[in-house]
Chain A
Amino acid sequence: MTDTPIRIVLAKIGFDGHDRGLRMVARILRDAGFEVIYLGLRQTTENVVAVVEQEDADAVGLSMHNAQHLTLAPKMVKSLRSAGLDVPVILGGVVPDQDIAPLLEAGVAVILGPGTSAEDVVRSVREAVTSRS
């Protein structure tokens, strides 16, 4: 059903408290008609999985700003898949160019770097979701 809004869970995992980007993306997606389940800071991958299940979310958006992406983003993908959830993981934040390939390899669907336009954010999330349905 294409007229049902896309539901996305937005979270930050671990200590990192830079939530400017996450809040920005929440507003961008809301204004593009998405339903954003905003979890905010200091989440665990286990909790995100539980929320995706309960909310029947279509995607997970994580934001990372301090070099933990190489550990935590693949861990998030793995936790979702082992719960049987084939939802795309979208990663935003500061990701050096050389880390992009290993992250995509690890199953991260989309990486949105700093300066990504609102249109690109909306389009990539939408594509990541529809390519799986």
Chain B
Amino acid sequence: MANDSEANNDRQAWQDAYDRTPLRDVDFETMSGIPVEPVYGGGPYPGQYPFTRGIRPSMYRSRLWTMRMFAGFGTAEDTNGRFKEILRNGGTGLSTAFDMPTLMGRDSDHEWALGEVGRAGVAIDTLADMRDLFADIDLGSVSTSMTINGPAHIIMAMYIALAEENSVDRAALSGTIQNDILKEYQAQKEYIFPPRPSMRLITDLIRFTAAEMPRWHPVSVSGYHIREAGSNAAQELAFTLANGFAYVEAAIAAGMDVDDFAPRLSFFFNSHSDFFEEIGKFRAARRIWATWMKERYGARDERSMLCRFHTQTAGVSLTAQQPEINVARVALQALAAVLGGSQSLHTDSFDEAMALPTEDAARIALRTQQIIAYETGVASVADPLGGSAYVEWMTDEIERRAEDIFSHLHELGGGSILEGVYAGIDNGYFVGAIADSGYRFERAVNAGRRIVVGVNEFTDGDHPSDRNLLRIDPQVEANQLKRLADVKQSRDESLVRTSLEQLVTDAADPTINTIPATIKAVQALATEGEIVAALETVFGTYVETAVM
């Protein structure tokens, strides 16, 4: 074969890279003592373009995925306690969930916030809440993930301001802020401003972190919510990567070099129940991203081509019926995520179909990951399913379906994916496609053509009354309202006003980065809701009009 020497070169290059990589201090052998190779099958090998087989030559032999458990409920103080618990239990990253008012850019005393404060996550109104959230935690040594989008720039500004107060250099801050607004219009619906000004804020943050926070991931392009909203696997993949391309195009249009920011983009996918489809999806994601970044966007730095991703098991697959069997679902979905080469993983708690997870349920979820990591042996070999005829076919098939969607968006946008995404938001393409897929699945379940264990088949053994659900104490809301009132009482109102005026002035000029003025505003203890309201005077408010 003419390619023999090329293939040998690939193998040699991989071996050289592998040999240079430090490994975990464990024995890479089976339970019965059979030694195993770091990779089997042909190239391109893990760590080689287009990275179908993984982003690193050694994959989990060097470093296991990050077991990142999402936490956040009640007041900042409550969540701080849970954070410390996670760090004690061997968790290696902090993940913050915010309550609905915070996610929507509104304060705890907003009229719609009644009954929502501290329920689905932590309530953050001002920098003072941020201080409590991370009390006694060294921001320079933890990796923090913050799941927030519409007001991401404000929460980021608070985190930066807090680091400054704690004398931690902002360049030392490590973590991820989701900051992916496009999927909000498509799926999760936690938007504030219309798409174009939102994109401006995101580009501002990308530019700011590229210059000053080299260890921060300013956008986590998220397909998770697209899948949860009902899409199929190929749509999840294609919409997510298209959004990624849109951010790349926006940053390039704002005058940045692709290699200055693309290495800091990361992704967030769903791991659902169809085992091989999910694995094919993860492998296709890496290949598509690498190819497009190199071929279309002219990336030269290999790190710009790496699709690094966090994965979460499919919350929507959890059943309220016989909730304890969700443990098995989560384990299988987590296994698919690991076999697909995820960099970090959140496993859902079995009781999440009904309410926020109890501490016991969250522990079982974390232990599930630890079983996969330490008992099953799957972490010893990179891309262990690569070369399987079925898995390779599935990878190609998902890629083909995704490319069809890119072509459609490309056409919609007159040659620009960014414009195509805007157009698809405007004309209801995304919400329609997602809702149609979800409806198709539900009809199949209804008709009994698809079995959901415990729901439409094997329904014996459900004990509704046994459920031990986490309830949020209504006192949380009262406490938070008092804290907010106290902060407002204590701050210098004229400083708040002038800082907001400066922010509005900066926002009105698209050539100015809004992040520095946002940091000033949060330092003056302006509330999140006040900052959002100030920006709405310039940017307007988004109202969803797409119905079908």
Interface residues of A (CB under 8 A from B): 14-20, 23-24, 27-28, 38, 40-42, 66-68, 70-72, 94, 96-97, 113-115, 117-119
A19 touching B189 by the CB < 8 A rule?
yes
- For residue A88, give the distance in angstroms from its CB to the closest CB of chain B: 23
Q: Is B355 an interface residue (CB 8 A)?
A: yes
Can you report 17 A-B residue pairs in the complex whose CB atoms are below 8 A from each other?
Answer: A14-B112, A15-B101, A15-B106, A17-B188, A18-B189, A20-B230, A23-B438, A27-B435, A28-B439, A66-B119, A67-B355, A70-B115, A94-B320, A97-B464, A115-B319, A118-B442, A118-B446
- Residues from chain B with a CB closer than 8 A to the CB of A117 are 446, 456
Cα distance A119–B188 when bound, in Å? 27
- Residues from chain A with a CB closer than 8 A to the CB of B431 are 23
- Residues from chain A with a CB closer than 8 A to the CB of B439 are 23-24, 27-28
- Residues from chain A with a CB closer than 8 A to the CB of B112 are 14-15
In chain B, positions 19-59 with a C-beta closer than 8 Å to chain A are: none
A20 touching B115 by the CB < 8 A rule?
no
B114 touching A15 by the CB < 8 A rule?
no
Closest 6 CB pairs of A and B: A17-B189, A23-B435, A15-B100, A68-B115, A14-B112, A71-B115
A14 touching B435 by the CB < 8 A rule?
no
B119 touching A115 by the CB < 8 A rule?
no
Task: Select A68's contact among B116, B320, B443, B465, beta carbons within 8 Å.
Answer: B116
- Residues from chain A with a CB closer than 8 A to the CB of B543 are 42
- Residues from chain B with a CB closer than 8 A to the CB of A42 are 543
- Residues from chain A with a CB closer than 8 A to the CB of B137 are none
Q: A20-B230, A66-B119, A94-B353 are in contact. Are A118 and B190 (CB under 8 A)?
A: no
Number of B interface residues in the complex (CB < 8 A): 43
B544 touching A40 by the CB < 8 A rule?
yes
- For residue A40, give the distance in angstroms from its CB to the closest CB of chain B: 6
A66 touching B354 by the CB < 8 A rule?
no
Name the residue of chain B whose CB is nearest to the CB of A22.
B435
B100 touching A118 by the CB < 8 A rule?
no
Q: Is B335 an interface residue (CB 8 A)?
A: no
- For residue A118, give the distance in angstroms from its CB to the closest CB of chain B: 5
Cα distance A27–B455 when bound, in Å? 21
Name the residue of chain B whose CB is nearest to the CB of A121.
B446
As a 0/1 sequence over residues 107 to 145 of chain B, the CB contacts with chain A under 8 angstroms (1 = contact) are 000001111100110000000000000000000000000
- Residues from chain B with a CB closer than 8 A to the CB of A20 are 228-230, 316, 435, 438
- Residues from chain B with a CB closer than 8 A to the CB of A68 are 114-116
Cα distance A23–B186 when bound, in Å? 13
- Residues from chain B with a CB closer than 8 A to the CB of A67 are 115-116, 119, 355, 472
B438 touching A24 by the CB < 8 A rule?
yes
Cα distance A42–B184 when bound, in Å? 14
Cα distance A94–B352 when bound, in Å? 11
Q: Is B291 an interface residue (CB 8 A)?
A: no
- Residues from chain A with a CB closer than 8 A to the CB of B115 are 67-68, 70-72
Name the residue of chain B whose CB is nearest to the CB of A71.
B115
- Residues from chain B with a CB closer than 8 A to the CB of A41 are 189, 544
Q: Is B147 an interface residue (CB 8 A)?
A: no
Cα distance A41–B229 when bound, in Å? 14
Task: Select A115's contact among B104, B189, B321, B355, beta carbons within 8 Å.
Answer: B321
Name the residue of chain A whose CB is nearest to the CB of B191.
A17
Cα distance A41–B104 when bound, in Å? 13
10 more A-B residue pairs beyond the given contacts A23-B439, A117-B456, with a C-beta to C-beta distance below 8 A: A19-B229, A20-B230, A20-B316, A20-B438, A24-B438, A67-B115, A68-B115, A97-B464, A115-B455, A118-B446
Q: Is B469 an interface residue (CB 8 A)?
A: yes
- Residues from chain B with a CB closer than 8 A to the CB of A14 are 112, 116
A113 touching B119 by the CB < 8 A rule?
no
- Residues from chain B with a CB closer than 8 A to the CB of A18 are 189
In chain B, positions 418-436 with a C-beta closer than 8 Å to chain A are: 431, 435
Q: Is B547 an interface residue (CB 8 A)?
A: yes
Cα distance A70–B115 when bound, in Å? 9
- For residue A103, give the distance in angstroms from its CB to the closest CB of chain B: 14
- Residues from chain A with a CB closer than 8 A to the CB of B228 are 20
B435 touching A24 by the CB < 8 A rule?
yes
Name the residue of chain B whose CB is nearest to the CB of A94.
B354
Cα distance A17–B229 when bound, in Å? 10
Cα distance A14–B115 when bound, in Å? 10
Name the residue of chain B whose CB is nearest to the CB of A65.
B120
- Residues from chain A with a CB closer than 8 A to the CB of B465 are 97
- For residue B338, give the distance in angstroms from its CB to the closest CB of chain A: 27
- Residues from chain A with a CB closer than 8 A to the CB of B467 are 97
Task: Select A96's contact among B316, B355, B547, beta carbons within 8 Å.
Answer: B355
Cα distance A41–B189 when bound, in Å? 8
Cα distance A20–B417 when bound, in Å? 25
- Residues from chain A with a CB closer than 8 A to the CB of B119 are 66-67
In chain B, positions 454-468 with a C-beta closer than 8 Å to chain A are: 455-456, 464-465, 467
As a 0/1 sequence over residues 497 to 511 of chain B, the CB contacts with chain A under 8 angstroms (1 = contact) are 000000000000000
- For residue B437, give the distance in angstroms from its CB to the closest CB of chain A: 11
Q: A94-B354, A113-B320 are in contact. Are A16 and B100 (CB under 8 A)?
A: yes
- For residue B427, give the distance in angstroms from its CB to the closest CB of chain A: 16
Cα distance A27–B319 when bound, in Å? 22
- Residues from chain A with a CB closer than 8 A to the CB of B120 are 66
Task: Select A17's contact among B190, B319, B321, beta carbons within 8 Å.
Answer: B190
- Residues from chain B with a CB closer than 8 A to the CB of A94 are 320, 353-355
Cα distance A97–B119 when bound, in Å? 18
Cα distance A71–B452 when bound, in Å? 32
B544 touching A15 by the CB < 8 A rule?
no
- For residue B5, give the distance in angstroms from its CB to the closest CB of chain A: 53
Name the residue of chain A whose CB is nearest to the CB of B320.
A114
A96 touching B469 by the CB < 8 A rule?
yes
Cα distance A28–B114 when bound, in Å? 31
- Residues from chain B with a CB closer than 8 A to the CB of A40 are 544, 547
Cα distance A112–B230 when bound, in Å? 19
A66 touching B116 by the CB < 8 A rule?
yes
A114 touching B190 by the CB < 8 A rule?
no
